[in-house]
Chains A and B, each alone.
Chain A
């Protein structure tokens, strides 16, 4: 059986560009994407080399700033752990992060966050959308904003926004609000590849190709009657599907060297970090890894000892790998939570929700390495210097990625600010 899969002819592609270009110029409400733009996937990857990327590590439940980025040893609120020096003289981290401490020269800290929000859902929403939750509107998450803002006119069949979460599940989530489903994240439950990327066993590659060719021929005939940006986007989605199937291995950790798998660790978070590296290297714009769970209302210290013990090495390895491979220059790394934890230690040796004075860690792309912005009081109960809110952070992420954070998207003829116009980036943190 012979099938000449011909949909990639030059004429096809040129004409398509015209159709799609036309639609983009008129700003039709159309979403598309795809390697169909290039004659070879490698070209796309080559073009994407200068592309900016983002990695978000979500410390679900609320990481304690005191056991991580802003230790206060020897104070009433400081808890039992010591502070250790890092690769940047003068900066100390909690002793729970020895590996990360060695990477500090690639990273920066923001220690003066006051989001004034102690609710998991609302805090999460603020930190990930850069806006306070209001019933009157939904806002897209940072990953969707970045995927959309950095989209190279649909240069990749791969999703622009991927979330790696513990546990099962998968599919497209609804986190892109008005930016539309094209930029919604694809969820990889426990790091498994996206749904339906595997050809059913009953279908051989030949048969798959054969029926694709037949569909293409039916489409070509119909295109003689009417061809629009929408029909092009639709036929293109099948080509993208083929590309994604062909590139399914980018989700396959077995392809990573045994040595790396050892370095990252065989536990879930280690595997997820390694997968994040693999995805970023393959041109995914925004990857988010979730580490769960830090909601330590009791036994805060034991839990942080365990959790950060799992977090520290894979995260530090990932940062160092990105730096070594030259990717950190173009990749923004952010470790965030919905809020911090109370300086006050409760009677169950726990710490509770605390949005008043806490920290995040970030680095790469346009972030000044080794910077520390803001400071809290000696006992960590209030911000003493350079107080910032979630809106500032959101602007800063965008600015670090080379975007004009005060810019806007045009949605259905309406202009929507990319970030909350009431805030601005933390300019002294940017290179």
Chain B
């Protein structure tokens, strides 16, 4: 269905549900008009993937498509949110987010995962979860598994500084470890060490390298730093980026530990009186809650919408503004005000129209909003520059104060160190004295015992004088007692000496304490001055950050508009190029036609001319003949006349001679004929001459015409070639314009995706891909059924109460996770990022394709059996019905006509091996782009 779009005019009420407010903001600010909403099948697929980590079963899609319930989408969302697989999927995503697939080292992965599952089962708010993880002490108890975040990063302060910043605040301070970040003003070395101070005393306590290490913390140690660029040295107490320093309860030097560490108890970690790391959980939520909420709102949004508002998710800073700052603020405050309830937050997001936008491009909306973005950007830029100047001044002032106070601080630190040393010596002396005391007491006891024994022996020897040896015994005992007395005296002396030494050490300690105490007022004053300078600096920093953010947002807006304008220009240029090509093509056709016409004309003229030349040649030869004849006739006439005259002369003599008469008559007739013929020839000759003159002229004309046609034709041919070249150039220009336009169309599509006007293709995570493949092939259902059967078999009575069913669901889900561990880890190995690396990057490698093409795992799922997909399909005789079932299971939609035909044709072609053909069909769909990506 292509639902009608409701366009909100005016802003939604602040109290309106989050989904309404989200849609209102997105529709108001997205690039172009929003795409239509997806149909039911796509909705079921998208929702199932996002909430339960797998595509829906084919049967479920079939039922969902058939359902007539108006509110069926809401109902489906509710069902998924309450499914055990929701909790499982959420725990898995948080595991990846928090641990980035680090291998198990000092903490148990399974216990950690169970801890996360239970946390989400109990709907533990996100802030509580964060606090538990960061303040974990690793001691035995229900929260022990939470220490994996710290332990499996080897409890290393630098690693923890980086990852706590990235994971919990969305800021990656790594580049600020040795100096202020070279490109991101927001990330300063001061911030890095402020965060580091929470972890600086934490370490991995691992006396036995073959046993897992434990979390431990020292009671002293400050985070000091020096920039490798400016060489300015500074120190900081624990503080969060942008926030003030923590004021800690002052612990007197030497008094940092509950139990005094002596070398002999090396098997135990130290026990400090205060834990800096324990402060972090609270600090995060009291001092940096805005950023904490923003970070998780952004990450949860990305999990559901397929794209974060701030990307990369761990680079929140003022020159990388959110795609929609207003939206991120609303999401963050809503997450916080909703008590960090992930399920409630997810529900709102999934029910937005924004979540349900189709993939198909829709309208990009040619109308560019004309408001004064440019001048706003200029103003923002000016303000940002000013704020930056003020911030740099404040930093210089702070550094000057730090430099000025450094000697005094060193003095204070020296006094503290001296005191700590004195306390150590005092404690050692005290211990020595106690030892001596014990020794002396022991010697006293011994002496007493010996004296008693000697006395008894003496008495015995007195009483029994005749018994031999008693005397000697008594004597020996007396001698031993005398020795013991000496020893006791010596011990007493040692004790006295040690007591004196202790007194000396104690007085040294007192003197050091007094020295330090004397520095106290000066120190307090310095602290105050420093705190003030730091506060001024932090205020300036905050203002700079805000101004920068505003500037970056304005700049993004300007760039967005520029891009749209550019696209419009490109489209115009493309259609102009198209029109030009059309015009040129048209002209070329006309020229070509003209050339053809001329060719015909020239040909005609030429043939006329040649016919005429032929005729001229003929008439010339006729004239020649006539002229000759005429000459003959003219030459013959006098002869005939002479003969006639001669004949007349004879007839005068013989007037009646008939023969003569006849001859005369004949001669006369011949003469007449001759005259006639001659006249005729003369006439024909004259006529011929006239005609010849005419022919000649006409022939010349034809020749000229033909010649001119040929010349024109050559010209036109040149023009035709030229216009062909023009056309080629216009075609190239059009192709260029098309390419430019295509690139810009992609850019604008990206902008539309970025502003959530249209859905985006998101690759499935390794776990989603694995589970979806198992789901579509029917393998997952089989494993689930087995897990259920095993659970039920272990129960004495079937679980029917809601609580019992919940318990069963959770237990089955956990058992299922165990059952699919092997294939899932194979997918993770191939499709997941490296251990400890960010997991969001998509990559398509040959070994993945080889795994799909030749590996046994997928082939195993496709082998028909146990009622799985291929077996079900093989039982279907009607290939159209088979196509429908196949598409529902693979793509959660009905096939198009063309797709049905394709499948029918395929099965027909492979009729001789139908079973294999069905497997191939499933394989082809399973490994297709449509399956690999979430859309």
Q: Which residues of A contact B (CB under 8 A)?
A: 1, 18, 22, 29-34, 134-138, 157, 159, 171-172, 174, 176-178, 180-182, 184, 186, 194-200, 203, 207-208, 210-212, 214-215, 217-219, 221-223, 225-226, 228, 230-231, 233-238, 240-241, 244-245, 412-415
Report the separation of the CA atoms of residues A34 and B851 in the bound assembly, to the nearest whole angstrom.
Answer: 17
Report the separation of the CA atoms of residues A208 and B927 in the bound assembly, to the nearest whole angstrom.
Answer: 13
Contact A412 B929 (CB under 8 A): no
B661 at the A interface (CB under 8 A): no
Contact B909 A182 (CB under 8 A): no
Chain A hits for B763, CB < 8 A: 230, 234
**Nearest CB of B to A25, in Å:** 9
Contact A219 B159 (CB under 8 A): no
Interface residues of B in 121-176 (CB under 8 A from A): 153-154, 156, 158-159, 161-162, 172, 174-175
B638 at the A interface (CB under 8 A): no
Given contacts A226-B359, A226-B935, A230-B761, contact A219 B843 (CB under 8 A): no
Contact B916 A207 (CB under 8 A): yes
Contact B927 A135 (CB under 8 A): no
Report the separation of the CA atoms of residues A234 and B841 in the bound assembly, to the nearest whole angstrom.
Answer: 13
Query: What are 7 A-B interface contacts by the 8 Å CB criterion?
Result: A33-B846, A172-B830, A196-B854, A215-B928, A222-B929, A226-B359, A231-B761
Report the separation of the CA atoms of residues A22 and B835 in the bound assembly, to the nearest whole angstrom.
Answer: 29
Contact A138 B920 (CB under 8 A): no
Contact B910 A218 (CB under 8 A): no
Contact B742 A18 (CB under 8 A): yes
Known: A176-B834, A219-B928, A230-B763. 10 other contacts (CB 8 A): A18-B739, A134-B158, A182-B843, A186-B847, A218-B930, A222-B929, A234-B844, A234-B932, A235-B929, A241-B849
Interface residues of B in 602-648 (CB under 8 A from A): none
**Top 9 A-B pairs ranked by shortest CB distance?**
A241-B849, A136-B158, A135-B156, A31-B843, A196-B850, A211-B920, A214-B924, A215-B924, A237-B849
Contact A196 B851 (CB under 8 A): yes
**Nearest CB of A to B832, in Å:** 8
Chain A hits for B841, CB < 8 A: 29-31, 180, 412
Report the separation of the CA atoms of residues A57 and B694 in the bound assembly, to the nearest whole angstrom.
Answer: 102
Given contacts A196-B855, A207-B916, A412-B312, contact A31 B850 (CB under 8 A): no
Chain B hits for A196, CB < 8 A: 847, 850-851, 853-855
**Nearest CB of B to A11, in Å:** 13
B212 at the A interface (CB under 8 A): no
Chain A hits for B689, CB < 8 A: none
Chain A hits for B154, CB < 8 A: 135
Report the separation of the CA atoms of residues A203 and B855 in the bound assembly, to the nearest whole angstrom.
Answer: 12
Chain A hits for B853, CB < 8 A: 196, 199, 208, 238, 241, 245
Contact A181 B916 (CB under 8 A): no
Contact A230 B156 (CB under 8 A): no
Contact B842 A29 (CB under 8 A): yes
Chain A hits for B923, CB < 8 A: 211, 215
Given contacts A136-B159, A172-B847, A233-B844, contact A210 B833 (CB under 8 A): no
Chain B hits for A233, CB < 8 A: 842-844
Contact B924 A237 (CB under 8 A): no
**Closest residue on chain A to residue B851 by CB atoms:** A196
Q: Which of B829, B848, B849, B927 has the most CB of A within 10 A?
A: B849
Contact B175 A414 (CB under 8 A): yes
Report the separation of the CA atoms of residues A182 and B935 in the bound assembly, to the nearest whole angstrom.
Answer: 25
Chain B hits for A203, CB < 8 A: 854
**Closest residue on chain A to residue B763 by CB atoms:** A230
Interface residues of B in 7-60 (CB under 8 A from A): none
Interface residues of B in 745-801 (CB under 8 A from A): 746, 761, 763
Report the separation of the CA atoms of residues A412 and B837 in the bound assembly, to the nearest whole angstrom.
Answer: 12
Interface residues of B in 367-401 (CB under 8 A from A): none
**Nearest CB of B to A397, in Å:** 22
**Closest residue on chain B to residue A243 by CB atoms:** B846
Report the separation of the CA atoms of residues A235 and B853 in the bound assembly, to the nearest whole angstrom.
Answer: 12
How many residue pairs link A and B with beta carbons under 8 A? The number is: 179
Chain B hits for A171, CB < 8 A: 829, 847
Given contacts A214-B906, A215-B927, A226-B935, contact A135 B153 (CB under 8 A): yes
B921 at the A interface (CB under 8 A): yes
**Nearest CB of B to A290, in Å:** 21
Chain B hits for A18, CB < 8 A: 739, 742-743
B177 at the A interface (CB under 8 A): yes
Contact B906 A181 (CB under 8 A): no
Total contacting residues, chain B, CB less than 8 A:
68
Report the separation of the CA atoms of residues A318 and B909 in the bound assembly, to the nearest whole angstrom.
Answer: 52
**Nearest CB of A to B39, in Å:** 13
Contact B854 A231 (CB under 8 A): no
Report the separation of the CA atoms of residues A335 and B906 in the bound assembly, to the nearest whole angstrom.
Answer: 55
**Closest residue on chain B to residue A210 by CB atoms:** B920
Given contacts A134-B158, A182-B843, A230-B761, contact A174 B834 (CB under 8 A): yes
Contact A226 B833 (CB under 8 A): no
**Nearest CB of A to B793, in Å:** 36
Report the separation of the CA atoms of residues A196 and B852 in the bound assembly, to the nearest whole angstrom.
Answer: 9
Contact A413 B312 (CB under 8 A): yes
B662 at the A interface (CB under 8 A): no
Contact B837 A194 (CB under 8 A): no
Report the separation of the CA atoms of residues A226 and B930 in the bound assembly, to the nearest whole angstrom.
Answer: 10
B265 at the A interface (CB under 8 A): no
**Closest residue on chain B to residue A228 by CB atoms:** B761
Contact B847 A136 (CB under 8 A): no
Report the separation of the CA atoms of residues A217 and B921 in the bound assembly, to the nearest whole angstrom.
Answer: 12
B495 at the A interface (CB under 8 A): no
Contacting A181 at CB < 8 Å: which of B159, B845, B859, B924?
B845
Q: Which of A32, A176, A210 has the most CB of B within 10 A?
A: A210
Report the separation of the CA atoms of residues A215 and B761 in the bound assembly, to the nearest whole angstrom.
Answer: 18
B867 at the A interface (CB under 8 A): no
B902 at the A interface (CB under 8 A): yes
B836 at the A interface (CB under 8 A): yes
Contact A197 B854 (CB under 8 A): yes
B207 at the A interface (CB under 8 A): no
Chain A hits for B837, CB < 8 A: 138, 177-178, 180
B315 at the A interface (CB under 8 A): yes
Chain A hits for B900, CB < 8 A: none
Contact A207 B920 (CB under 8 A): yes
Contact B849 A200 (CB under 8 A): no
Chain A hits for B697, CB < 8 A: none
B683 at the A interface (CB under 8 A): no
**Nearest CB of A to B504, in Å:** 44
Report the separation of the CA atoms of residues A236 and B846 in the bound assembly, to the nearest whole angstrom.
Answer: 9
Contacting A22 at CB < 8 Å: which of B743, B925, B927, B935?
B743
Chain A hits for B312, CB < 8 A: 412-413
**Nearest CB of B to A420, in Å:** 13
Report the separation of the CA atoms of residues A199 and B923 in the bound assembly, to the nearest whole angstrom.
Answer: 15
Chain A hits for B834, CB < 8 A: 138, 174, 176-177, 180-181, 184
Contact B159 A194 (CB under 8 A): no
Chain B hits for A176, CB < 8 A: 834
Contact A221 B899 (CB under 8 A): yes
**Closest residue on chain A to residue B156 by CB atoms:** A135
Contacting B930 at CB < 8 Å: which of A134, A199, A222?
A222
Contact A231 B933 (CB under 8 A): yes
Contact A231 B921 (CB under 8 A): no
Chain B hits for A178, CB < 8 A: 837
Report the separation of the CA atoms of residues A413 and B848 in the bound assembly, to the nearest whole angstrom.
Answer: 26
B840 at the A interface (CB under 8 A): yes
**Nearest CB of B to A262, in Å:** 33
**Nearest CB of A to B104, in Å:** 15
Report the separation of the CA atoms of residues A178 and B835 in the bound assembly, to the nearest whole angstrom.
Answer: 10
B838 at the A interface (CB under 8 A): yes
Contact A211 B924 (CB under 8 A): yes
Chain B hits for A225, CB < 8 A: 359-360
Chain A hits for B906, CB < 8 A: 214
Contact A230 B830 (CB under 8 A): no
**Closest residue on chain A to residue B320 by CB atoms:** A413
Report the separation of the CA atoms of residues A60 and B840 in the bound assembly, to the nearest whole angstrom.
Answer: 35
**Nearest CB of B to A41, in Å:** 14
Chain A hits for B742, CB < 8 A: 18
